[in-house]
Amino acid sequence: MKVLVTGGTGFVGTHLVNALVRRGHSVAVLARDAGATRNRYNRPVETVAGNVLDPASLTAAMAGREAVIHLVGIIHEQGQQTFDRMHREAAGNVAAAMRAAGPRRLLHMSAMGAGEDAPSEYGRTKAAGERAVRESGLDATIFRPSIIFGPGDGFVSLLAPIVRWNPLFIPVIGKGQTRFMPVSVYDVARVFGDALEKPGTIGQVYEVGGPETFTLDEIYREIATAVGKRRKPLVHLPLWWGRFLAARFEGAARRGWIDAPPLTRDQLRSLTRDNAANRNRLPPDSQLSTLSSRLYLGSSFSFERRYPPLIASASLMY
């Protein structure tokens, strides 16, 4: 199948493009900078110039494609790249370009916890992106993954140095009881590939989570064990202190002192609600494989932990 991937140069996109190519699909990656795809994938892929905020470039990029996988998303705002533009507006642009250019099959990546009543702007704008997809009339499938881990991720690989190098204790903002279902990026790529090839997944929303639910404290403990700091105590810091730090990080990023804030106030708001799905099996007609996942805790160490098969829950989209 001729597939266009937006967000294909990111963490999930890189793994997904490799998986699609291995499955025999003809993959093109939308990129603002052609150099961003150089030497990124296991095999050469086509690069198409375009921007999800430029509708004309999207229409041209989709000519001759049979399906589009839309992965674009951000975890913090930077300049003109706001949550609303990158989650709602971009999804609407992709859907409109598909209607104009011809492809009808759309796989859209949202996030677990997306909802109009989500405590974070991230979650609310992810829900707005889903709404744009649902209202498009396209043959769409929506995915809501929990926290995705793997080589090059922005979660485990961010926490690991904090655990490893903080000299006396592991700092945790809040009570540490928010629940997550971490899922391997390899499992996410496999689920996307399976759904692309199975018409029975059209019109559904899949909440994709790993087989186990962890509190934030437990995630820190898993990482501490992996890096040889199992005995280091967790010290819980009040939310007001986290908000103070996050505001300073955001200010430093705006001034160009750091590339990206390691913590934002919007992320802290998201910690007030669990990031876990109901443990319902996929409907039989979707026939998505159960998957085994491994926990890769960054490139500086090689700890791996085997998990039982992936669990995902599904609910009808319409």
DSSP assignments along 64-78, one per residue? T-SEEEE----SS-B
Task: For residue 137, give its domain range.
Answer: 2-151+183-210+278-291+308-316
Measuring CA to CA, which residue among 299, 113, 149, 310 is closest to residue 222? 149
Distance CA 249, CA 124 (A): 23
- H-helix or E-strand spanning residue 5: strand 2-6
Q: Is residue 203 part of a domain?
A: yes
Give the position of tokens 């296991």. 42
- The enclosing domain of 61 has a CATH number of 3.40.50.720
Distance CA 170, CA 167 (A): 8
Measure Cα distances from 60 to 40, 49, 64, 97, 103 in Å.
24, 9, 9, 8, 12
Q: Is 283 exposed, middle or buried (0-12, 13-18, 19+ CB in 10 A)?
A: middle
Measure Cα distances from 243 to 34, 75, 83, 267 in Å.
38, 16, 19, 10
For the stretch 251-279, pLDDT in tens is: 999 999 999 999 999 999 999 999 987 65
Sorting pLDDT into bands at 50, 70 and 90, what band is 37? confident
Measuring CA to CA, which residue among 159, 127, 144 is closest to residue 278? 144
Q: Is residue 70 part of a domain?
A: yes
95 alpha carbon, distance to own chain's centre: 19
Q: What is the mean pLDDT of residues 211-228?
A: 89
Distance CA 27, CA 65 (A): 9
In sequence order, what E strands does 97-184 have?
105-109, 139-145, 148-149, 170-173, 179-180, 183-184
Instruction: Tell me the two tokens of residue 27.
Output: 């993959």
Please check whether residue 250 is in contact with residue 261, taking contact to mean a CB–CB distance below 8 angstroms. yes
Measuring CA to CA, which residue among 43, 48, 17 is closest to residue 33? 48
pLDDT at 6 over 50: yes
Q: Is 250 exposed, middle or buried (0-12, 13-18, 19+ CB in 10 A)?
A: buried
Number of residues that make up the chain: 318
Q: What is the mean pLDDT of residues 70-75?
A: 96
Percentage, residues of the chain above pLDDT 70: 87
For the stretch 87-143, pLDDT in tens is: 999 999 999 999 999 999 999 999 999 999 999 999 999 999 999 999 999 999 999
Distance CA 146, CA 141 (A): 16
Q: Is residue 95 part of a domain?
A: yes
Question: Mean pLDDT in the chain?
Answer: 86
pLDDT at 293 over 80: no
Q: Which of 140-149, 177-186, 241-250, 272-281 has the lowest mean pLDDT?
A: 272-281
Q: Is residue 162 part of a domain?
A: no
Q: Is residue 79 part of a domain?
A: yes
Amino acid in the structure at residue 116: E
By DSSP bridging, strand 214-215 and strand 179-180 are antiparallel
Query: For the chain, what is the domain count?
Result: 1
Q: Is residue 224 part of a domain?
A: no
Please check whether residue 132 is in contact with residue 88, taking contact to mean a CB–CB distance below 8 angstroms. yes
Give the position of tokens 């007030």. 272
Q: Is residue 171 part of a domain?
A: no
Per DSSP, the three-state class of 42 is coil
